[in-house]
Amino acid sequence: MVSDQTIILILVHPGVVTAESKARIAEAAFNGGPLGELVQWSDLISTLHILGHHVYLTASLPDLRHYFGVDTGGCPHFHSNPNLIYTDIIGLRQIKSVLKGPWFKYRCIIRVLDTFGTEPDFNHISWANKHKLASPFGGLNMIPLQFYTMFPHTPDNTFLGFVVQNQLMSEQSELFKSNKRQNQALVYGKRAEFWEGKTAYLDVIHKYLEIHGTVNNRNALPNYVKNHGIVKGTDVQALLRQSKVFVGLSFPYEGPAPLEALANGCAFLNPKLNPPQSSLNTKFFKGKPNIREIISQHPYAEAIGEPYVWTVDMNNLTEVEGALNAILNQTIEPYLPYEFSCEGMLQRVNVLIEKQDLCSSAASWPPLSALQVVKAQMSCKTACQKAGLICEPAFFPHLNNANTLAKNSVDCQTSEFSANGLVFPAYNSTQHCWFQSDPLLFSCVRSDESLTRVCPCRDFIKDQIALCKDCI
């Protein structure tokens, strides 16, 4: 828990749950609708409360007006300005519409929950318009680190994450011991349409295991499926504790459920996506402000790998059967990456609240001691990753001058500042250097074959990628 001096006032405005957003996400929650965002909001609110902050929640436009005193002639309800505001893209638009021009004074204290992330070129309104990247959720012109994602996607954004219910928590562990694992698979797919066209794949699994589902409508399911309907989170976990495999159907992408499966002792069968899916070729991602490609249903789980996660081509039934045999011939313990545990989430959010300062231009966190410069003809995301590090956009301004480059063995013969690219600072074969003149265009994820990028990388705590070793 934070000390008294650092208890702050936090406004939480989840736009997606307001009736005005028409997203109807709360209503759909009981009928197979998306739950990932709600999981993240409830984990965030719980975390802020446990850390001891004063949390004020607004869940409608009248609430928001009331909070800011817009309905009481400018007298704020709370008699004090928030130190931090958590919202989402819909909520940010609502804040702007309620406050009008003066919203700007809150600009740098806003954090925008953004499940799949916003890449800098999509965020920058004039760049996006000029390069035909305008999208319904882009063009917000925030600092890219203000977007808080569900998984560590682009390092240009901040990884917020969520908490995975862990059966090793004391009151759960007895229950776990009394539950014997059956010859059972649980299928990952709450809506009947996710199951369409997957019968041959499921038939192979059914040769070995009884198949269970938590599906909103059983009509389209193979006869052998034992369907429980949409159930409570704790019931999903109980089913996972009785099962040996959690079976992906290739959709939904990048949800919390596969991590819950691993944490409850199942292996996860993770379908490959071929061709890779992104907003350029996939309806689900269309309009999302990034072009990140995913090559399986759950890239984060894919990186965890065997023996926990088996990434397979669903159409190659021999491969599916091979993976299944391997899973049934192994014993695994429950697995939970630290960053998705309660403690990991509390640590991460606490450090972000105390140290991530997006209001001052001379930010001192992460500390420069964590900086490791890597030069490469590829994106900084990849270059840092290859060096066992992560790209840290907060360090871009520090690298963006000839003096710092010289200290890192780049002798710029000539140089210029430009806002015509997404890969600066960088240099070409004649040692001509380009520096970024628009800080909103610093980006970890883009590359230019003709240029060598100078990348700001940093280390990270194992299984806590948001934080460097000197960050806490």
User: In this chain, which of 43, 88, 156, 260 binds ligand UDP, going by CB under 6 A?
Assistant: 260
DSSP secondary structure of 149-180: ESS---TTSEE-------TTSHHHHHHHHHSP
**Per-residue tokens: 269:** 């069968």
Interaction of residue 39 with ligand UDP, rule CB under 6 A: yes
**CA-based R_g, the chain, Å:** 24
- Could you give the residue ranges of the DSSP H alpha helices within 208-288? 233-242, 257-263
Of 240 and 312, CB closest to ligand UDP = 240
Residue 36 Cβ, how far from ligand UDP at the closest point, in Å? 3
User: In this chain, which of 8, 17, 143, 236 binds ligand UDP, going by CB under 6 A?
Assistant: 236
User: In this chain, which of 26, 28, 36, 134 binds ligand UDP, going by CB under 6 A?
Assistant: 36
Of 36 and 222, CB closest to ligand UDP = 36
User: In this chain, which of 18, 118, 146, 214 binds ligand UDP, going by CB under 6 A?
Assistant: 214
Please, are residues 441 and 432 in contact by the beta-carbon 8 Å criterion?
Answer: no
Nearest-angstrom CA–CA distance, 117 and 131: 19
From edge to edge, which strands make up the β-sheet containing 110-113? 54-57, 9-13, 84-88, 110-113, 147-149, 158-159
Nearest-angstrom CA–CA distance, 452 and 432: 11
Interaction of residue 257 with ligand UDP, rule CB under 6 A: yes
Nearest-angstrom CA–CA distance, 245 and 261: 8
Residue 262 Cβ, how far from ligand UDP at the closest point, in Å? 12
Interaction of residue 143 with ligand UDP, rule CB under 6 A: no
Q: Which of 84, 57, 63 is nearest to 20 (CA)?
A: 63
Interaction of residue 230 with ligand UDP, rule CB under 6 A: yes
Of 34 and 52, CB closest to ligand UDP = 34
Interaction of residue 34 with ligand UDP, rule CB under 6 A: yes
Residue 323 Cβ, how far from ligand UDP at the closest point, in Å? 20
Nearest-angstrom CA–CA distance, 83 and 51: 15
Residue 109 Cβ, how far from ligand UDP at the closest point, in Å? 27
Interaction of residue 302 with ligand UDP, rule CB under 6 A: no
Strand pairing class (158-159; 147-149): parallel
Residue 227 Cβ, how far from ligand UDP at the closest point, in Å? 10
Residue 40 Cβ, how far from ligand UDP at the closest point, in Å? 9
Interface residues for ligand UDP in 155-194 (CB under 6 A)?
A: 190
Strand pairing class (432-436; 426-427): antiparallel
Interaction of residue 256 with ligand UDP, rule CB under 6 A: yes
Of 121 and 260, CB closest to ligand UDP = 260
Binding site for ligand UDP (CB under 6 A): 34-36, 39, 190, 214, 230-233, 236, 252, 255-257, 260
